[in-house]
């Protein structure tokens, strides 16, 4: 989706990699040396570096803004993961506040989370214009998307609209029609299984170099459905 926005010059883009594995950054081909977690841990160890008269939160925010990886088509912010046994609680609260402020400068903000409910339960953001739930080609995957959507609403997250994408489809989508109907989620699109895409992923190349007309059409259709 980020590549589609960049290619069609839809507007300014902030990509946020909220997956501790930083897989989003890898897919975008950006090597980001600084992460929000790393900055927070660094500050905890060097509190004396905070200028007099500046709060810890404001100093960290400035450092995080400095850590933004800027490219020709988009900016990238990476959450990272703790190196020690510490929890994410403080980082989650900080990230939530940062997103609320930093995102105002962008037309599009894409947050990539790890699979599952973890980041929804952390309430990293208080509002989501488009909650895109991706399932594999399975009944259990589709059911999981429903649970994630329900959790977001139970936690009071403002969701403008929730959408389902079925990934790696290897047969008729009609086989999942009943389960999809039960979720109440509109299907934004389906991504057929592609050997070319699999090979591209294992090659560790960024998505921007993947030139495949069928994949471009699929992503274009999904984008159009999300923007309706």
Give me the pLDDT at residue 36, please. 80
Q: Where does the pLDDT of residue 9 fall: very low under 50, low under 70, confident under 90, or very high at 90 and above? A: confident
* 31 half-sphere exposure, CB direction, 13 A CA radius: 2
Can you give the CATH number for the domain in which 135 is found? Answer: 3.40.50.300
Residues 4 and 84 in one domain: yes
Residue-wise pLDDT tens digits, 137-189: 999 999 999 999 999 999 999 999 999 999 999 989 999 999 999 999 999 99
Query: Is pLDDT larger for residue 63 or for residue 44?
Result: 63
Q: 99 pLDDT exceeds 80?
A: no
Residues 8 and 112 in one domain: yes
Residues 10 and 50 in one domain: yes
Residues 36 and 113 in one domain: yes
Last residue within a domain, chosen from 118, 136, 152: 118
Give me the pLDDT at residue 223, please. 92
Last residue within a domain, chosen from 55, 88, 118: 118
Measured from the Cβ of residue 157, the count of other Cβ atoms closer than 10 Å reads: 16
Encoding tokens for residue 137? Answer: 């080609």
Q: 108 pLDDT exceeds 80?
A: yes
Q: 89 pLDDT exceeds 80?
A: no
Residues 54 and 159 in one domain: no
Q: How far apart are CA 172 and CA 150, in angstroms?
A: 27
Give me the pLDDT at residue 85, please. 54
Q: Answer whether 186's CB lies under 8 Å from 146's CB.
A: no
Whole-prediction pTM = 0.84
Calculate the average pLDDT of the chain.
85
Q: 84 pLDDT exceeds 80?
A: no
Residues 84 and 153 in one domain: no
Give me the pLDDT at residue 66, please. 81
Residue-wise pLDDT tens digits, 122-143: 777 788 999 999 999 999 999 9
Residues 56 and 14 in one domain: yes
Give me the pLDDT at residue 86, please. 53
Q: Where does the pLDDT of residue 87 fall: very low under 50, low under 70, confident under 90, or very high at 90 and above? A: low
Query: Is pLDDT larger for residue 76 or for residue 64?
Result: 76
As a whole number, mean pLDDT of residues 14-26 equals 84
Q: How far apart are CA 227 and CA 127, in angstroms?
A: 17
Last residue within a domain, chosen from 71, 101, 118: 118
Q: Quick one: how far is CA 205 from the chain centroid? A: 19
Number of folded domains in the chain?
A: 2
Give me the pLDDT at residue 91, please. 62
Give me the pLDDT at residue 13, please. 95
As a whole number, mean pLDDT of residues 203-216 equals 83
What range does the domain containing 25 cover? 1-118
């Amino acid at each position: 989706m980020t590549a589609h926005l960049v290619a069609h010059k839809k507007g300014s883009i902030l990509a946020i990699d909220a997956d501790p594995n930083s897989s989003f950054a890898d897919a975008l081909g950006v090597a980001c040396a600084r992460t929000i977690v790393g900055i927070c841990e660094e500050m905890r160890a060097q509190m004396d570096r905070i200028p007099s008269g500046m709060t810890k939160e404001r100093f960290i925010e400035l450092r995080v803004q400095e850590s933004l990886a800027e490219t020709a088509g988009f900016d990238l912010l990476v959450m990272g993961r703790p190196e020690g046994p510490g929890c994410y609680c403080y980082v989650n609260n900080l990230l939530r506040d940062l997103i609320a402020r930093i995102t105002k400068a962008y037309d599009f903000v894409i947050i990539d989370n790890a699979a599952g409910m973890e980041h929804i339960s952390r309430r990293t953001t208080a509002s989501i214009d488009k909650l895109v739930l991706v399932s594999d080609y399975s009944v259990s995957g589709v059911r999981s998307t429903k649970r994630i959507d329900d959790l977001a609403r139970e936690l009071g997250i403002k969701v403008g609209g929730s959408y389902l994408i079925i990934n790696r489809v290897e047969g008729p989508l009609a086989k999942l029609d009943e389960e999809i109907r039960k979720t109440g989620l509109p299907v934004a699109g389906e991504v057929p299984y592609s050997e070319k895409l699999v090979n591209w992923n294992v090659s560790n190349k960024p998505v921007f170099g993947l030139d495949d007309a069928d994949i471009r059409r699929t992503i274009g259709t999904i984008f159009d459905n999300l923007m309706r």
